[in-house]
Amino acid sequence: MKESDVKFFRPLWRRLLVAAICVTWFAFEAVFGHDQLWIVLSGAAVAYCAWNFFLKFPKDQPATPAAIPPADDPAPPTQP
């Protein structure tokens, strides 16, 4: 997937929506269509969604300690 695609599909709800549409299409073709070409095409779309959106999709990078700004005064104040 391209970087722009990864940015667009970063929210989980978008990936779930596209996958749900493909699964619905596959179910419709399997139950009502009975045309092997469309069943195979919609099944391939479901497999592609599962592979790219859930198995291979890049995970969020955790914040590194270098990215966290240091505190203003790390030493506690002392009493005279």
Q: How many CB atoms lie within 10 A of CB 26?
A: 21
Residue ranges in the chain whose pLDDT is less than 70: 1, 61-77, 80
Give the pLDDT confidence score for residue 59 in this predicted structure: 80
Give the pLDDT confidence score for residue 63 in this predicted structure: 53
Distance CA 42, CA 34 (A): 12
Give the pLDDT confidence score for residue 6 in this predicted structure: 84
